[in-house]
Chain A
């Protein structure tokens, strides 16, 4: 039970941190603190990726293998593009967010003086004509209200190019479900942190270097993971992610992607990667032997850091293991904590066994 509590608290802390793509500093320092006990010499590379290497077995051995494990620290968010008259802020998204989940959301804006509160809004329904009422408000008609009285006041505080994110409460609900912003991919970060702790307690007896990479900028498709993979040139890479699922009432069985509570989802193919069949089969086999609940992703959609990692330099064999997540890229992502445990446990087992 304590275990559950600790994990939830870790995920909550991580999700609460401010970290849209390109501005991951707060998440990174939080993680650096969390892993200080197990890996005090974790370092940042020039892109801002946080890399922590744990070396197991005989460090002087000539034959050593290297595995890279990565999860991205960034989340989808916003950037201020314009200070409008009246002190309202024009903005655009950083990463893909559907216009239908924007209006009415609370946000935090990172200004020169730190975080301030805001809310995304548009004109009231009374001012909308029949056509406007029927569709999501376009992003250039939305604005962020920070309560400024006029343009001057807003300009004194907010700069064009300042970042913002959703401001959303983290909570548990239903049966084993969690809800929050940025579960994508702070759950992956949490799984890596907990896996590191476990490996510290019972180190594998193999001559392997496990390189844990907390990466930047996944959500804009120009992933920092590429730079980390280039730097490390691992034998195998494991990407810990979330995957968008549609296992809701009304969805055809064939399009649900994966089941909430069905375990960690392993991908055969997504829009950025065709995964090696041998590696996928090996991962499924490891899960089976170690009693970790796993499922295969049953739809081809999305993409993740595997897409850039596997094509890096001379090529890297890559696996992706994801927590099935509903309502991805919104202020209210929903996942099952047991799938998170499965992801974490599979991560440990894969490090121990895959090479």
Chain B
């Protein structure tokens, strides 16, 4: 598969937490030749299985399909839309941005007049779709409809890409890449490619998927912050320095054996890697760790600048390192 064009296709398909049908359909079509079985569970997780030949460990690899966004809660007489946030929106980043609804209605997200940036919150924002009245707005939008910051992706200098929502469509693209790399490799254990839902609202989907799969080993593919932007808090993780092997984030401490195994695999295969300790934020890793009787978990992260803004930035070479590292690791243990 062409990584960049898959990434672009996934990014351009809006799918807020809890409304992942469209992206799921797209991913299903891409992953189906790489797996033996596919199913969608009650919450909407897409679970694709590559069957093993017998014995071996059950390995679960997960990337989330959902993204942050807005839900329409009320339509004013003026036709303006009141919204609630879905996931951790940064309003300073979203203010005056372009938005688009799940049904393709375009608009822009605006703070009320006289509200200072420090006081930005959902109640002080509205979406203007250009409607002249409540009636006109109601013809286009219903309460409960979702909006996202308008997706876009472009290539920048140095093999880097910029746009949104790279969190976590780039993880999904990496997971698809891994599935392709493992397609023809006979492994003892089953490998589960899970495209999870509702990560941005509390890592909900991975919890139920892991409960059903009961993996021995689970690895999460998600983005992580970096310490290489101006004024950033100290963090030993940089764009372009390779796959980030997670040691901990605020929600999880990864299994030490998996961390070691991933690092050794990277060294053996000369794959560029770095270690990641994220002091804030959590990922599906923690949900997979404590579902049911628990699993040994790890995570390989794609270093990403400006997460949750309208312009997230990644280095494509890091994504390639992530795909190479996880597929080699699975070959080793699977």
- Do A and B contact each other directly (Cβ–Cβ < 8 Å)? yes
Q: Which residues of A contact B264 (CB under 8 A)?
A: none
Name A317's closest neighbour in chain B (CB-CB): B42
Q: Are B86 and A298 in contact (CB under 8 A)?
A: no
Q: Are B19 and A254 in contact (CB under 8 A)?
A: no
Partner of A298, one of B19, B41, B42, B73: B73
Q: Are A274 and B18 in contact (CB under 8 A)?
A: yes
B123 at the interface (CB under 8 A from A): yes
B150 at the interface (CB under 8 A from A): no
Q: Are A300 and B73 in contact (CB under 8 A)?
A: yes
A269-B86, A300-B84, A316-B42 given; A254·B208 CB < 8 A: no
What's the least CB distance linking B70 to chain A, in Å?
Answer: 10
A355 at the interface (CB under 8 A from B): no
A274-B17, A311-B204 given; A254·B86 CB < 8 A: no
B211 at the interface (CB under 8 A from A): yes
Q: Which residues of B contact A310 (CB under 8 A)?
A: 42-43, 204
Chain A: interface size category = 20 to 34
Name B142's closest neighbour in chain A (CB-CB): A296
* Bound-state Cα–Cα, A300 to B122, Å: 10
Partner of A299, one of B84, B86, B201: B84
A275 at the interface (CB under 8 A from B): yes
Taken residue by residue from 310 to 331, chain A's Cβ proximity to chain B (1 for < 8 Å, 0 otherwise) reads as 1111111100000000000000
B 193-219 contacts with A by CB, 8 A: 198, 201, 204-205, 207-209, 211-212
B 205-248 contacts with A by CB, 8 A: 205, 207-209, 211-212
* Bound-state Cα–Cα, A298 to B72, Å: 8
B144 at the interface (CB under 8 A from A): yes
B256 at the interface (CB under 8 A from A): no
Partner of B143, one of A274, A276, A298, A313: A298
A268 at the interface (CB under 8 A from B): yes
Taken residue by residue from 81 to 96, chain B's Cβ proximity to chain A (1 for < 8 Å, 0 otherwise) reads as 0101010000000000
Task: List residues of chain B with CB under 8 Å of any chain A CB.
Answer: 17-19, 41-45, 71, 73-74, 76, 82, 84, 86, 122-123, 143-144, 198, 201, 204-205, 207-209, 211-212
Task: List residues of chain A with CB under 8 Å of any chain B CB.
Answer: 253-255, 268-269, 274-277, 280, 296, 298-300, 310-317
Q: Offer 13 A-B interface pairs, CB within 8 angstroms, sorted by A.
A: A269-B71, A274-B17, A277-B144, A299-B73, A299-B74, A299-B84, A313-B211, A314-B41, A314-B42, A314-B209, A314-B212, A315-B42, A315-B45
The 5 closest A-B pairs by CB, nearest first: A274-B18, A315-B208, A300-B84, A268-B144, A315-B42
